[in-house]
Chains A and B, each alone.
Chain A
Amino acid sequence: MNIRRLFLIAVPYLWLGALFLVPFIIVLKISLSDAAISIPPYTPTLDFSGGWEALKQFFSKLDIENYVFLTEDDLYWKAYASSLKIAIISTLATLVVGFPIAYGMARASDEWRPTLMMLVILPFWTSFLIRVYAWIGILSTEGFLNQFLMWIGVINEPLSIMNTELAVYIGIVYTYLPFMVLPIYSTLEKMDASLLEAAEDLGCTRTSSFWLVTIPLSRPGMIAGCFLVFIPALGEFVIPSLLGGSQTLMIGKVLWEEFFNNRDWPVASSVAVILLLLLVIPIILFQRNEEKNKELEL
């Protein structure tokens, strides 16, 4: 192996190893430690100067106490369960909102498509925080939505949407919509229109050819889109903390509070480890789906 190739491989490898892999090992280690009133606020700390004996003692002090604590305290169960619930419902809602947009884009004329594409991508480049912030003014009690609904006379009393789970759903659907639209659009765009003609020649109505041809053929895109929304939504922090109220429990928020407010680093670390374990399954399924799509294309 020549030096140049070694250099090319080693630099990004070492960078990721030091700043991605090693930090995880540290999180895992601290999740097995105990909280302590010291700097850093956990014990035991790794010290190589004590030699082999000290190292053995170090390992003997690690235990799964924090994980036991997580299973005993209701708060964490509820937070994981409600994160899963919120992520699933908002993913399905994003699919329902996103599919018609992708479908419309795929049917638009060729000169319109690049523009529509850019219109979908543009909000993605705009700050996530700003897009979430924009909804506070809309959903609050004196907000634009309530003003509008009262003006057209649908309601007499303002609705309280802000600081509820509904606001979190709206926030997630809004911010992750491009992730759903783009993969569905790319499968629909590749679809052969003659298949629909064939279906109709064989006696399908327009509606039934949509359900029997278009929907099954766009399934890979829908699945990819669902994972792309579900995975980040599960660990979401910004949306529940700005739009959701104090009773909206999400695990990203719990981790944040455990770390910054309670300063319990070992518990925060074990919350992180379990969140990661929860994510491993959908990530593997997503990878499989992608590989299957690649095979189909070949």
Chain B
Amino acid sequence: MNRRFSWFNATSLTLGFAFLYIPIVILVIYSFNESKLVTVWAGFSTKWYGELIKNEAFLDAAKVTIQVAILSSTFATVLGTMAAYVMVRGGRFMGRTLFTGMIYAPLVMPEVITGLSLLLLFISIGLDRGVTTIVLAHTTFSLCYVSVVVSSRLVSFDRSIEEAALDLGCTPFDAFRSVTLPIIAPAVISGWLLAFTLSLDDLVIASFTSGPSSTTLPIKIFSAVRLGVSPEINALSTIMISIVTVGVITASLISKRSITRRRDEEQKADQ
């Protein structure tokens, strides 16, 4: 559909995006506020960023969070890509329905239930809560997201290229590495990024599965926010928002470039 962009459309887009972005913009602006009161402007200052760097508890939590996010998103990408391959190319095998169900179910599961059930598992097998348990928990729910992203890419790609590689003497593993993987790479990378942000963002599951020595940043923020708004949290939020924004824009530019490059190559091949 592409017709008549009316005043109504322009207004609803403007209001819609204002609704989506004004809260974030206010949050960022007031992180540079001199005053301790978050809602009263008292002049420009970067002192809350200074306070933040001095706050050991936040720094420790940030370290744990990044460690967990990197480990869990990497595991989730490997397992999720395997699961996607099984779903799309696996053919029939025993318990296939159960397998697909287990991939899709965590996507709609309330986080409180996932968190509770994993905690009860860790306790019943006697695993101490800490970084390991958070990584296990995050890997489990983000591998499902990764496999959905990767399998949509696998479905759309031409299988005959892979078969050609096999006919030309590649082992299945070589064919996967030199043909399949480069083609699905953008989906694998965006799966990794998705898993990374999901892990970075998660409060509920991490609260259930973390131990006293392994507080993550969202848990820290949540307990601070319950006591009220503070400019330090605004500063921390601003840093996190900037990292994500730069990441998303870079990723979309890279994928845009790879699409145009592929189109150019296809055109050359046609000539």
Residues of A within 8 A of B (CB): 1, 4-5, 8-9, 11-13, 15-17, 19-24, 26-27, 30, 40, 46, 97, 100-101, 103-110, 116, 118-123, 125-131, 133-138, 140, 142-144, 147, 174, 177, 181, 188-193, 196, 231-232, 234-238, 241-242, 252, 255-256, 259, 265, 268-269, 272, 275-276, 279, 283, 286
Q: Select B120's contact among A30, A133, A283, beta carbons within 8 Å.
A: A30
Q: Does B83 contact A (CB under 8 A)?
A: yes
Quick one: given A12-B143, A242-B226, are A104 and B118 in contact (CB under 8 Å)? no
B55 to chain A, nearest CB (A): 17
Q: Are B39 and A255 in contact (CB under 8 A)?
A: no
B19 CB contacts on chain A under 8 angstroms: 97, 174, 177
**CB-defined interface of B1-45 with A at 8 Å, one 1/0 digit per residue?**
111111011101100110111011011001000000111100000
Q: Are B24 and A24 in contact (CB under 8 A)?
A: no
Q: Which residues on B sit within 8 Å (CB–CB) of A15?
A: 79, 139-140, 143
Q: A140-B39, A193-B2 are in contact. Are A268 and B27 (CB under 8 A)?
A: no
A16-B99, A119-B21, A137-B39 are known; give 14 further A-B pairs, CB within 8 A. Answer: A15-B143, A19-B136, A107-B1, A126-B245, A127-B240, A130-B221, A131-B23, A133-B229, A174-B19, A191-B1, A237-B111, A237-B204, A238-B203, A238-B204
> How far apart sit A141 and B8, CA to CA, in the bound complex (Å)?
33
Distance to closest chain B CB from A24 (angstroms): 6
Most chain B beta-carbon neighbours within 10 Å: one of A16, A110, A231, A276: A16
Contact with A144, one of B26, B124, B136 (Cβ below 8 angstroms) = B26
Rounded to whole Å, the gap between the CB of B122 and the closest CB of chain A is 9
Q: A105 to B6, alpha carbons, bound, how many Å?
A: 11
Whether A133 lies near B117 (C-beta < 8 A) is no
Given contacts A8-B82, A109-B2, contact A127 B106 (CB under 8 A): no
Q: Contacts A15-B140, A174-B23; is A235 near B113 (CB within 8 Å)?
A: yes
B116 at the interface (CB under 8 A from A): yes
Cβ of A279 and Cβ of B95 under 8 Å apart? no
Q: Does B57 contact A (CB under 8 A)?
A: no
B248 contacts A by Cβ under 8 Å: yes
The segment out of B46-54, B85-93, B162-170, B180-188 that lies at the interface is B85-93
Minimum CB–CB distance for A48 against chain B, Å:
12
Residues of chain A within 8 A of B248, CB atoms compared: 118, 121-122, 125
Q: Establish whether residues A126 and B82, one from each chain, have CB atoms under 8 Å apart when the complex forms.
A: no
The distance in angstroms between the C-alpha atoms of A9 and B79, with both chains bound, is: 10
Q: Please, which residues of chain A bring their CB within 8 A of the CB of B10?
A: 104
Whether B5 and A126, one on each chain, are in contact in the complex, defined by CB atoms closer than 8 angstroms, is no
Q: Are B204 and A20 in contact (CB under 8 A)?
A: no
Q: How far, in whole Å, are A21 and B82 apart by their CA atoms in the complex?
A: 19
A21 to B137, CA, bound (A): 13
| Alpha-carbon gap, A26 to B5, bound state (A) | 55
Within 8 A of A (CB), among B190-240: 197, 200-201, 203-204, 208, 218, 221-222, 225-226, 229, 233, 237, 240
> Could you say which of B8, B93, B233, B244 contacts A9, with CB atoms under 8 Å apart?
B93
- Chain A's nearest CB lies how many Å from the CB of B241? 6
State the CA gap A177–B90 with chains docked (Å): 36
Chain A: minimal CB distance from B146 (Å)? 10
Cα-based distance from A232 to B117 in the complex (angstroms): 17
Is B154 in contact with chain A by the CB < 8 A criterion?
no
Pair A20/B200 contact, Cβ less than 8 Å: no
Inter-chain contacts of A4 with B (CB < 8 A): 172-173
In-complex Cβ contact of A126 among B40, B90, B244 (8 A): B244
Contact A17 B102 (CB under 8 A): yes
Once the chains bind, are B16 and A97 in contact (CB under 8 Å)? yes
By a CB distance below 8 angstroms, the chain A residues around B173 are 4
Contact B106 A125 (CB under 8 A): no
Given contacts A144-B39, A188-B1, A242-B226, contact A11 B79 (CB under 8 A): yes
**10 residue pairs A–B, Cβ–Cβ below 8 Å:** A16-B103, A16-B140, A27-B113, A100-B16, A107-B5, A125-B248, A127-B244, A130-B221, A134-B26, A238-B203
- For the complex formed, measure the closest distance between the CB of A278 and the CB atoms of chain B, giving whole angstroms: 10
Assess whether B23 is in contact with A134, with CB atoms less than 8 Å apart. yes
Q: Indicate if B252 sits at the interface (CB-CB under 8 A).
A: yes
B163 to chain A, nearest CB (A): 16
Residue pair A126, B2 in contact (C-beta under 8 Å): no
**Least Cβ–Cβ distance between A121 and chain B, in angstroms:** 8
